[in-house]
Amino acid sequence: MRYIIIGAGAVGGTIGGRLAENGHDVVLVARGAHLEALRRDGLRLISPHGAATVAVTAAGGPEELDLREDDVLVLAVKTQDTAAILQEWAPRPVAGGGAAADALPLVCAQNAVENERIALRLFRRVYGMCVWLPALHLEPGTVVSHGAPLSGMLTLGRYPRGADETAERIAADLRGSMFAAPVDQNVMRWKYAKLLGNLGNAHQAICGPVPGSQPLMERLLAEGRAVLDAAGIAYTPPEEERRTRGDQVNETAVDGADRPGGSSWQSLAKGSGSIEADYLNGEIVLLGRLHGVPTPANETVRRVAGEFAREHRPPGSMTISALLKLVEEEAAAPPLM
């Protein structure tokens, strides 16, 4: 199997780098200065285990590759980019016949719960992956993995549910490449639980990892659980996640490479112009509107995070008290008719 990692950032770079280190055929798909650095120097992968330069094949897009029947597409971009990118990959021909959408498995190694639905509109075989993988990508050609002793836990399953031989083969390759990789018949239960944890991404990006954020996080989680319960959506309880992960993966310091924030913080730090909040906090807002559950905290955080991204405001440039004030104003506002 050849793994084509579409989006070789923090998550995709770590997954692809570890697979390549352990003898698997890997292509990292990237763009801009990151792509140039990968082509010129390879992937520099820094972790608590040390630093290594991994020789990988790098590509800018599907037009640069001859797709094969044994390819596995691993999508590791932000949700706001999923639809456009899959439109590029879905019609590409595969050696042996057919288009990628019909012939190849697609793994959504992403936060949020919308990616799999978007993918299933185009691809016949879609797999969800719940990613617990602390990593950082701010410098071209370099990814810092903060997980130890394993680099991450990647729970995998067929979408919308089930498991098959392909899932088991992918999981086996990941287990041999410094990952915990459980296969679960209902992977979306894990992804909805991860969604709840990711509700803090945006406020961390807006305010930074500062003291005093716990009351806001509790409000975000309370709204999230309320809407999932109202919608009848199952999610893995925290104790099951902790029991499954155990001590296999812990966020660990790496000398000279602090991880100042998660994926949303990194989006603002890089000035990407977009942020994933519409599909994290915004998922809770959507479900709240569908099921009549107020979600003022998630709506405020979603809106402000979007403003930060569009205006290229730096991460951590609003105080937590100012953000909480906006939440209170949203909660007190009369409902729109």
User: Residues 132, 155: one domain?
Assistant: yes
pLDDT surpasses 70 at 336: no
pLDDT surpasses 60 at 9: yes
For residue 80, the 8-state DSSP code is G
User: Residues 81, 153: one domain?
Assistant: yes
User: Residues 138, 229: one domain?
Assistant: no
For residue 295, the 8-state DSSP code is -
pLDDT surpasses 90 at 85: yes
Percent over 90 (pLDDT), the chain: 90
What 3-state class would DSSP assign to 144?
strand
User: What is the pLDDT, as a whole number, of residue 222?
Assistant: 97
User: Residues 27, 133: one domain?
Assistant: yes
CB atoms within 10 A of CB 162: 13
User: What is the pLDDT, as a whole number, of residue 263?
Assistant: 86
Position 255 confidence tier, pLDDT thresholds 50, 70, 90: confident
Q: Which of 140, 156, 185 is the last residue of a domain?
A: 185
- Domain assignment of residue 202, yes or no: yes
User: What is the pLDDT, as a whole number, of residue 337?
Assistant: 55
User: What is the pLDDT, as a whole number, of residue 256?
Assistant: 73
Which one is predicted more confidently, 211 or 226? 226
User: What is the pLDDT, as a whole number, of residue 205?
Assistant: 94
What 3-state class would DSSP assign to 85?
helix
CA dihedral over 175, 180, 186, 190, signed as positive or negative: negative
Q: Which of 161, 185, 209 is the last residue of a domain?
A: 185
User: Residues 82, 15: one domain?
Assistant: yes
Work out how many domains the chain is built from and give that number: 2
CA distances from 144 to 13, 148, 192, 209 (A): 9, 12, 26, 19
Position 210 confidence tier, pLDDT thresholds 50, 70, 90: confident
CB 112 within 8 A of CB 276: yes
Crossing angle between the packed helical segments 214-231 and 296-310, to the nearest 10 degrees:
110
Q: What is the mean predicted confidence (pLDDT) over 217-229? A: 97
Pairing label, strands 106-109, 126-132? parallel
Percent over 70 (pLDDT), the chain: 99
Each residue's pLDDT tens digit, 50-77: 999 999 999 999 999 999 999 999 999 9
Extract the tokens encoding 234.
């199952």
The residue segments making up the domain with residue 210 are 192-332
User: Residues 58, 111: one domain?
Assistant: yes
User: What is the pLDDT, as a whole number, of residue 257?
Assistant: 75
Extract the tokens encoding 323.
């953000």
Backbone φ/ψ region at 335: left (φ over 0), alpha (ψ -120 to 50), beta: beta
Helix boundaries (H) for 42-123: 82-89, 100-103, 115-120
User: Residues 180, 196: one domain?
Assistant: no
Q: Minimal CA–CA distance to 89: which of 111, 70, 74?
A: 74
Each residue's pLDDT tens digit, 103-125: 999 999 999 999 999 999 999 99
User: Residues 196, 309: one domain?
Assistant: yes
- Domain assignment of residue 337, yes or no: no
User: Residues 125, 243: one domain?
Assistant: no
219: domain CATH number is: 1.10.1040.10
User: What is the pLDDT, as a whole number, of residue 335?
Assistant: 73
94: domain CATH number is: 3.40.50.720
Euclidean distance between CA atoms 308 and 287, whole angstroms: 24
Each residue's pLDDT tens digit, 133-180: 999 998 999 999 999 999 999 999 999 999 999 999 999 999 999 999
Q: Which of 117, 150, 185 is the last residue of a domain?
A: 185
Average pLDDT of the chain, as a whole number: 95
User: Residues 179, 203: one domain?
Assistant: no
Q: What is the mean predicted confidence (pLDDT) over 281-299? A: 97
Euclidean distance between CA atoms 185 and 191, whole angstroms: 12
Range in 28-42, 82-96, 233-247, 248-262 with the lowest mean pLDDT: 248-262
User: Residues 164, 204: one domain?
Assistant: no
User: Residues 127, 83: one domain?
Assistant: yes
